Structure 1
C-alpha cells in the first residue's frame, strides 16, 4: 500500500517527491510577504518523520549550509520516512543581518508561541505547528553567539535512553547533558514528545568548514541510524561525555592572547592564555580552573574584568557509551517505541 501524501501549510507532498514550501509569516509595510522557507523530503518508503532547523538566531549561518548539504544528498525515491527542513527560521533577523527579531526579542526564548501574540510568538507558533509538531525526532543547529566560537558538540538529555542513542549516532566530538531553557525550541518540543539534539559549532556569520563538515556528517548519521538512508561511516572515536561546564573569566581588563584551542584537553592550573596592556606587558596569566575539554572561547581581543574567556566542559570518564544499535523501532525490537523522548 502506497504512503499517504504529507500535508504542510496548504501543500501536500506525494511520496517519492521533495518540495519547497513557503509558509506565510507577516507582511512588510510595503505589502511584500515574508515567508518561512521549508523543504519537505517525503520518501516513498515508510519511516519516521524528522525535522531539522537552523538560524533561529539570524546570525547563525553554519546550520544553513549543513541543511543544504544534507538535502543535496537525499533521494526521495529511496528515502524512508519524511524530513522537514527549515534552514532559516529567523528570516527577518537573517535578512537584516541581526541575531534577533526587529523588536529585539530572542526567538529561542519565545516558544511555543501563540497565533495571537507578538511577532516572535507568532513565528514560534508557526514553527511548532508546521514543523516541530509533525516529527518525533528533531535536530536544531546553532553556532556560538557574536564574539564567541564553539567546538562541535551535541547538547541533549543524556539520561533519556533514546535521546542518548541519537546523540551517540550523531557522533560529535563532545556530547553534553544540558538543561532545558524556558521558552526554547527544545523545551517546547519536549512538551510535544519529541527527542531533540541541539548541535553547536563555529562562529556567528562565518561558514566555518570544520563546523559544517561535522554537522553534516552528524545529521546524516542520525538519519541513517533511524533507517531513513543507507548506512554512513561512523566517527573514528565515540563522543566524549560531559555533565557540567563553566567559563574561565578574566580577572583583569586587558588585551587577550589565547593559547588554548578548541577541543584541547586541559587540567586544573594549565595555562590557557594571558592578558597584557597595550605595550605588551603581561598583566595576568589565564589558567584552567577545572579539568576537561575546551568547547568554546571568546574571539574578542579586548576583554574586561569578569568577561567569559574560555568554556571548559568537565568529562565524565566513568560513563561507558550505551550499546550502539539501530534506532528505528521497527527494525530494532529491543528499543521501546513508547519511551517518552526527552531533550535539553
Structure 2
C-alpha cells in the first residue's frame, strides 16, 4: 500500500501531514456505557507502508502504552513516509481492572467469558463474547495495515529482557518478513521457536502474519510497573523499526549483539519458599551455573536452582515467594 492522500480509518479522515487522536467504540456494558479503543493516526506526506502498533491487550502491560506514546511523540507527520495506526490500549476493560484480564466480567459469567484473553482468540468474532469482540475489532484495524507490532510485558512478578518473539515459521511469506522486522527492531534478543503459547493458533501475531500482515510479539520489562529504562529502550526499538521501513529519518541504533534463540525452557520450583535470584537477567549460563536459591521461612536453603543446560537467562521471577511448581526462571536456548 502507498498513502499520499487522506486516509480514512473508522470514520477518521486524516489528511497528509496530519495526525488525529480519538476513540472508536468497541463494547457496551450493562448500564449502557460504551467501552472505546483509543486510537492515534498519523498520515505522512510521502508514499510508504502502513504500520499497526498495539499495546496493553493485557491490563497490566503499562510499559507498552508509555513506550508507544514516547516513540510517536517524536514523529513529524510532514516528514513521515506512509502512515501509522496505533492502539495504545487494546483491551481497555483489562486496563481499568489493573489486571491481565477484565476480571469483573469473568467473575460475573465465567463460562460465557471463555476464552477470556483477547490475545488468544484472533481473528475474533464480532458476535462472540467480550474477548472475541475486542479481537475482531482489533483485527479489522490490523488487516488494513502492511505490518504490525504487538507490545507486551509479562504479568506481575516476571521480567523479560527486551525480546522479539516470532510466530510459527510456516505462516507463509509473511513469516520471513516478520523475522526481518524482528532483527530491525534492534532489541538484541529474538526467539524463533516452533512450540509454546507464542506460536499457537489464535495469538495476535500468528493470525496477523497468516492474514498477510507480518507481525511479532515484543516483550519488555515487567507487568504492573512503569519503568523509565524499559520505556526508553522500547521507544528506541519502535523507532528502529520505523526507520528500517524507510518511514522516518535517522539511523537505527543497533544492539551490541543479537541473540537468536530456538526455544524457551521454563524452570519451576520443587519446593515452596522465599526466592532469591542471584544470576543477572540476560546472563549467559552454562549447564550447572547457579541461578538462585529457595529458602524456607527459617532461612535454610531448600533448593539451589541451577541451569540444567546451557542457555540465556531471559525471564526472571521477581516475586519474593514461590510455591512448588511455580516458575522461577526461563532460559532461552540457542
TM-score if structure 1 supplies the norm length? Answer: 0.87
Distance in 1 between residues matched to 2:325 and 2:47, nearest whole Å: 53
User: Quick one: which of 142, 145, 163 aligns to 2:152?
Assistant: 142
Distance in 2 between residues matched to 1:302 and 1:67, nearest whole Å: 32
User: Quick one: which of 223, 235, 245 aligns to 1:216?
Assistant: 235
Task: Report the equivalent of 2:172.
Answer: none
Q: Are residues 1:175 and 2:190 paired?
A: yes
1:209 CA displacement: 2.2
1:45 CA displacement: 0.8
Q: Which has the higher helix share?
A: 2
Task: Report the equivalent of 1:124.
Answer: 135
Q: Secondary structure at the match of 2:183?
A: helix
Q: How many residues align?
A: 314
- Counterparts of 1:51-200 in structure 2, within 5 Å, are 51-101=52-102, 102-104=104-106, 105-129=116-140, 131-157=141-167, 160-179=175-194, 180-200=199-219
User: Quick one: which of 250, 255, 263 aligns to 2:282?
Assistant: 263
Kept in 2: contact 1:171–1:238 (CA 8 A) = no
Q: Are residues 1:303 and 2:313 paired?
A: no
Kept in 2: contact 1:257–1:275 (CA 8 A) = yes
Kept in 1: contact 2:23–2:37 (CA 8 A) = yes
TM-score if structure 2 supplies the norm length? Answer: 0.90
Q: Secondary structure at the match of 1:77?
A: helix
Shift in CA distance, 164/190, structure 1 to aligned 2, threshold 3 Å:
closer
CA RMSD of aligned residues (A): 1.7
**Bigger shift: residues 197-206 or 297-306:** 297-306
- Counterparts of 1:228-267 in structure 2, within 5 Å, are 228-267=247-286
Distance in 2 between residues matched to 1:252 and 1:32, nearest whole Å: 46
Kept in 2: contact 1:220–1:232 (CA 8 A) = no
Distance in 1 between residues matched to 2:12 and 2:297, nearest whole Å: 60
Distance in 2 between residues matched to 1:309 and 1:80, nearest whole Å: 44
CA deviation vs aligned residue, 1:83-132 (integer Å, no higher than 9, x gap): 10000011011012221124331111121111111121111111111x20
CA deviation vs aligned residue, 1:53-104 (integer Å, no higher than 9, x gap): 0000111111100110011000111100001000001101101222112433
Distance in 2 between residues matched to 1:301 and 1:77, nearest whole Å: 49
Q: Which runs of 5+ in 1 are unaligned?
A: 316-344
Distance in 1 between residues matched to 2:221 and 2:28, nearest whole Å: 32
Distance in 2 between residues matched to 1:197 and 1:188, nearest whole Å: 10
Structure 1 consecutive aligned stretches of length 4 or more whose deviation exceeds 3 Å: 157-161
CA deviation vs aligned residue, 1:161-198 (integer Å, no higher than 9, x gap): 32222111111121110342222111220221011121
1:157 CA displacement: 4.9
Kept in 1: contact 2:178–2:214 (CA 8 A) = yes
Task: Report the equivalent of 1:205.
Answer: 224
1:158 CA displacement: 8.8
Task: Report the equivalent of 2:332.
Answer: 313
Distance in 1 between residues matched to 2:77 and 2:164, nearest whole Å: 27
Q: Which runs of 5+ in 2 are unaligned?
A: 107-115, 170-174
Task: Report the equivalent of 2:246.
Answer: 227
1:248 CA displacement: 1.7
1:236 CA displacement: 4.1
CA deviation vs aligned residue, 1:172-231 (integer Å, no higher than 9, x gap): 121110342222111220221011121101111101222222211111011001000002
Distance in 1 between residues matched to 2:255 and 2:134, nearest whole Å: 39
CA deviation vs aligned residue, 1:303-328 (integer Å, no higher than 9, x gap): 1222211111012xxxxxxxxxxxxx
Task: Report the equivalent of 2:113.
Answer: none
